[in-house]
Amino acid sequence: MKKKKNIGIVAHDNRKKDVMEWVSFNWQQLAKHTLICTGTTGKIIEEAIQEKCEETEIVPPEVIKLKSGPLGGDQQLGAMIADGNIDILIFFWDPMQPQPHDVDVKALLRIAVLYNIPTAQNRSTADFIISSTLFHEKYEPIIKDYSGYIKREVDL
């Protein structure tokens, strides 16, 4: 993981306001990194950060917008994690609302754990991640070797 991180950001509909407030509060820290977001979340975040950057003449970060979560954006992020292209995942998901793409959400969270990606699922953990001294430093996560699991499955 380089000093400049690729940060995946996702928010369910009922949490978009929360993620926008978090991004607006932390925009100066986030401006140093690349933000990779699903659909509408990306549009909201890009607008919020660009407005702040224009006020202060700071160069806005690159905001890459993927498809909407239910249309494959969660799976795109998962693939990017598997390919080593996401360093941190900020996912404000709604625990009170069933999602039509719940399987994709679970798969994204599973792949983040599998590849040992720091993951925030609420404002508190997002605050802890962004305030960590490691946030702007080079870091090499330890990736567990799961090849033994695959072999045991085949042997059964």
Query: Is the model more confident about 127 or about 156?
Result: 127
Say which DSSP state 84 is in: T
Catalytic residues: 74
Lowest mean pLDDT: which of 1-10, 37-46, 69-78, 95-104? 95-104
What's the pTM?
0.90
Lowest mean pLDDT: which of 25-39, 50-64, 127-141? 50-64
On the 0-12 / 13-18 / 19+ scale of CB atoms within 10 A, 113 is: exposed
Predicted confidence band of residue 102 (pLDDT cuts 50, 70, 90)? confident
Report the residue count for the chain: 156
Q: What is the arithmetic mean of pLDDT over 14-21? A: 94
pLDDT of residue 51: 87
Rounded Cα–Cα distance for residues 49 and 42 (Å): 10
Closest CA to 10 of 80, 84, 58, 60: 80
CATH class of 6-155: alpha beta
